[in-house]
Structure 1
């Protein structure tokens, strides 16, 4: 039965576009092989004892117009792949154990609310907001947050030190000629002292070596 028209196929099974397994005692999960029937236009699995998730492979049934797995024990979320079924005009997942937000698509948001009742679903076309009534819990303080704070203060200290050094030393030397000459004279004087110390040390080492060799 599709769109109030009854069709019956008994010989040419390759032309079957409708599958009606409703009101039986089928259990366990929905066979994934059903999602490979890309020629199906209508599939009715309502009124059984099917459980498990709706496979996201349902996106492969690109020509399906009517899909009814209502009144089962299906759980999990409505797969996002159902948004790719652009010809879907009738969907009924009511009276299951589905939860979460209804995927966004033009087809799903235009359907009647009764298609999603009897679940823990939220979002359009239902009036229940997915964020309504959710209690905000404080985020746990982890070690990463502390490390980020230490890193922040470390970088800030480097920036402040660079600014103080640049403004307090480099700028005066670049602007004031007398300070610049005094600074370079001081550096040159210290270099001479260090050079003399190195020379005297090398002289002492060489003399001690010669004395030990002579003795």
Structure 2
């Protein structure tokens, strides 16, 4: 039989009436009881706890550790122990609660790492372990990375996806480019200078050539009367030809519409 100390706040205890079992030992669920100590009074809850579907003890100033035996409630669908003063670690066998859909352990003083087994509860859709003292890496390769970072915030020593905190030893490695030898550096410098020189000369020659050609054509037209007359005659002939073509097409279009 478990012994309880009188305390103004509450705690959760779990035991098997009249018997003592190790963690790995089997027991009859008909003998299970839960005692809740509240303001110095012990209240016993006796039932077939294996059939319990939901437990909500949030905001009750509960203290002590989360009983490891709670992982024996394999039919549990929802567990809410948030906003209490619970401490210690999350039970390592929390993954035994295979039917768990919602788990809220937020706003307590839980410490240690998140058990790897928690990632084995594939059907869990609501998780909140924020505002505790959890540390270490969030188990990777499980659906635990699918939850929003808000499910884990308030645990300064917790790291890994989906938190922005990078775990020690996983910092990205920034590799500097390989250093060239003195000979290679000289060769690269010479090639760069050559490219710069020839590149500049190429563009300068293009500009000069364009300017000379333009001035040559314009100067010939302006200062040579015969060339100027021939140039304007060509322009006049082109304009006349364009006018005649436009007039012919217009006449055909009008006849087609009128006919």
- The TM-score normalised by the length of structure 2 is 0.45
- Alignment root-mean-square deviation, CA: 2.1
Q: Deviations over 1:87-135 (max 9, x none)?
A: 111110000000110012442101011100000211001111103798x
| Superposition pairs of residues 150-161 of structure 1, within 5 angstroms | none
Equivalent in the alignment of 1:31: 67
> Structure 1 residue 47 and structure 2 residue 83: aligned?
yes
Question: Cα 1:12–1:83, aligned 2, differ >3 Å: closer, same or farther?
Answer: closer
Could you give the per-residue CA deviations for residues 177-207 of structure 1, whole angstroms, max 9, x where no partner exists? xxxxxxxxxxxxxxxxxxxxxxxxxxxxxxx
Match of residue 130 from structure 1: 167
Alignment-derived partner of residue 95 in structure 1: 131
Deviation at 1:43, TM superposition (A): 0.2
Does the 8 A contact of 1:89 with 1:107 survive in 2? no
> Counterparts of 2:128 and 2:146 in 1: how far apart (Å)?
13
Q: CA distance change for structure 1 residues 14 and 74 in 2, over 3 Å: closer, same or farther? A: closer
CA–CA distance in 1 between the matches of 2:168 and 2:58?
35
**1:82 aligns to what SS in structure 2?**
helix
Measured in 2, the distance between the counterparts of 1:28 and 1:132 equals 34
Q: Is the 8 A contact 1:92 1:115 kept in 2?
A: yes
Report the Cα distance in structure 1 between the residues aligned to 2:52 and 2:161, rounded to whole angstroms: 33
Alignment of 1:42-191 (within 5 A): 42-119=78-155, 120-131=157-168
SS state at 1:109 partner:
helix
Report the CA distance between 1:15 and its aligned residue.
4.7
Other structure's SS at 2:79 match = strand
Please give the TM-score of this superposition, normalised by the length of structure 1: 0.54
Gaps of 5+ in 1: 1-10, 135-215
Aligned counterparts of 1:70 and 1:64: Cα–Cα separation in 2: 16
Is this contact kept in 1: 2:66–2:86, CA < 8 A? Answer: yes
Larger Rg, first or second structure (1 or 2)? 2
**Larger helix share, 1 or 2:** 1
Q: 2:118 is paired with a residue of what secondary structure?
A: helix
- Write the distance in 2 (CA, Å) between the matches of 1:61 and 1:92: 16
User: What displacement does 1:13 show?
Assistant: 7.0
Distance 1:59 1:25 in 2: 25
Per the alignment, residue 216 of structure 2 pairs with none
C-alpha separation between the residues in 2 aligned to 1:51 and 1:13? 23
Structure with the higher fraction of residues in strand conformation: 2
Q: Which has the higher contact order (CA 8 A, sep 6+)?
A: 1
Q: Structure 1 residues 34 and 26, CA, compared in 2 at 3 Å: closer, same or farther?
A: same
Q: How big is each residue's C-alpha offset from its partner over 1:49-86, in whole Å with a ceiling of 9 and x where there is no partner? A: 00001111111111101100100000011111111111
